[in-house]
Amino acid sequence: MHVSLSRARKHHRGRLLTGAALTLAGTMLTTALLTASSTAAQRTEAETIITGSLPDPVTDAPFEVRIEVTRPGNEGIELSARLSEDGGLITRPVQWKVRHALKDGGISAAAANELFEAEEPIGTVFVEPGTYTVEATYGTVSIIRDVEVPKGHFIGATFVLNVGGLRTLSTLDSEPLPAPFRAVHKVYAIGGKASGQLVATSDVPGGLMRLGAGSYRLESEIEPGNTVTRTDVSIKPGILTTLQLDHQAGIAAVNADAAQAWTIADGDSKWTASGTGPQLLTLAPGTYSWTAGSRQRTVIIEAGKRTEVRGAD
C-alpha cells in the first residue's frame, strides 16, 4: 500500500475547541475560546512588526545575580531558570552551555572554548575568575548572556526565559482520530526576527510544545489526506494554553486490489493523491475525480461521513 500526495490542500471549514482552565506545577493554566478557518495549506505571510526599540529576547533576557564570597580557587557559577519573572524555578531539565566570553561578544565554535555542557534543572560549574558566556535552552527558546565571576566569589545566576506552553489535540468531526490517521501540528512565528518561520512541530496527541512568549500561527494537518485547520494563538510566560482543533472533513475508503493503481484529485485546488491497493484518506468536503486504470468516477465527500470508493466500479 502506497500513497503519494501533491499540490495544494483543499479549502474547508474547521472548528477550534478549547479545554477548561487547568493548574499545573503551581502555574495557572488558561485556555481561550477561539474559532478557526481551514484554508489551503499555502503559507500565509505574517505581518511585519518593527522591534528595533525592543530588547533582544536572546541577548537581553533578564536574569538575577546572587553573589557569595568564597575562598580563591572555589569560584564558580550556579545556573537556574524561571518561566516568568514571578514564577518558581524550573524543575525540568534545561540545556546549559558555558564558554569563555570572547572580546567581540561572539561565541567561538572551537571545542576548547566550551567549558561546561549539561541538561539539568540546576547546573553548577567551577571556573577561574573571568567573564563567561552562558547559553540556556528550554524547548524552542534559547538565551545567551555574559556572566562575570570576580576573584573569590561564587555567582548564582537565574535566567528568566519568558516561556509558555502549548498543548494541542486534533479531532475529526468532534471525534478522536481513527487509525491510521495522525495529526501534525506546526507552529509559525508571527512578528519579530523569526516572523513566518516554523518554530515547532509535534505529532503527539496532546503533546506539549514550549514556546517563547509571543504570537504564533498554529496549523493542524491530518495525514494522509488534504485537510488543514489553522488559527492564531498568543503564548504568555508561565501559562499553558490547551487547544483542540476540530477538522470538518470526511473519510474516503479506497477499496482496491493490492496491485491496482489509482488517483483521486480535486480540480479546484489541484490537490491529488495516488497509490496502490486499499487506503483511507481524510478529505475536505467537496467533489473529487477518481481514476483507476481505464475507469473514472466522481466522488462526493461530506463532512463527518465515510465514503466507499471501489476500484471495481
Q: Which CATH class is domain 10-49+163-247?
A: mainly beta
Q: What is the CATH number of domain 63-160?
A: 2.60.40.10
Work out the pLDDT band at 1, boundaries 50, 70, 90.
low
Distance (Å) of CA 78 to CA 60, 81, 119, 133, 151: 19, 10, 13, 13, 16
Across 143-157, 187-201, 252-266, the highest mean pLDDT is recorded for 143-157
Q: Of 2 and 284, which is predicted with more confidence?
A: 284
Residues 6+ away with beta carbon under 8 Å from 164: 83, 210, 211, 212, 213, 235, 236, 237, 238, 239, 240, 241
Rounded mean pLDDT of the chain?
81
Structure confidence at residue 42 (pLDDT): 29
Q: Which residue has the cell 495529526?
A: 183
- The arithmetic mean of pLDDT across residues 245-269, rounded, is 90
Residues 6+ away with beta carbon under 8 Å from 165: 208, 209, 210, 211, 235, 239, 240, 241
Kindly compute the dihedral angle of the four CA atoms of residues 197, 200, 205, 206, in this order, to the nearest 10 degrees: -110
Confidence check: pLDDT of 294 > 50:
yes
Backbone φ and ψ for 111, nearest 5 degrees, come out as -60, -30
Structure confidence at residue 127 (pLDDT): 95
Q: Which fold has domain 250-310?
A: Immunoglobulin-like (2.60.40)
Work out the pLDDT band at 269, boundaries 50, 70, 90.
confident
The 10s digit of each residue's pLDDT in 45-71 is 333 233 333 344 554 557 899 999 999
Work out the pLDDT band at 293, boundaries 50, 70, 90.
confident
Of 82, 14, 66, nearest to 226 by C-alpha is 14
As given in the structure block, the three cell numbers for residue 126 are: 567551577
Confidence check: pLDDT of 125 > 50:
yes
Are 96 and 127 in contact by the 8 Å Cβ rule? The answer is no
Q: Cα–Cα distance between 258 and 239 in angstroms, integer? A: 49
Confidence check: pLDDT of 6 > 90:
no
Amino acid at 64: E
- The arithmetic mean of pLDDT across residues 15-28, rounded, is 35
- The arithmetic mean of pLDDT across residues 74-102, rounded, is 94
Q: Cα–Cα distance between 142 and 57 in angstroms, integer? A: 9
Q: Which residue has the cell 524555578?
A: 89
Q: Cα–Cα distance between 183 and 205 in angstroms, integer? A: 8
**Residue-range domain boundaries for the chain:** 10-49+163-247, 63-160, 250-310
- The arithmetic mean of pLDDT across residues 251-268, rounded, is 90
Q: Of 28 and 257, which is predicted with more confidence?
A: 257
**10-49+163-247 and 63-160 share one fold:** yes
- The arithmetic mean of pLDDT across residues 177-192, rounded, is 92
DSSP one-letter string for the chain: -EEEEESPPPPEEEEEEE---EEETTEEE-------EE--SSPPPPPP---TTSPPTTTS--EEEEEEE--TT--EEEEEEESSTTSPBP-S-EEEEEEEPPTTS-----GGGEEEEEEESSEEEE--SEEEEEEEEETTEEEEEEEEE-TTEEEEEEEE--EEEEEEEEEETTEEPPTT-EEEEEEEEESSTTTT-EEEEE-STT-EEEEESEEEEEEEEEESBS-EEEEEEEE-TT-EEEEEEEE--EEEEEE--TT-EEEEE-TTT--EEEEES-EEEEE-SEEEEEEETTEEEEEEE-TT-EEEEETT-
Worst-scoring range by mean pLDDT, 109-113, 199-203, 270-274? Answer: 109-113
Worst-scoring range by mean pLDDT, 47-51, 135-139, 149-153? Answer: 47-51
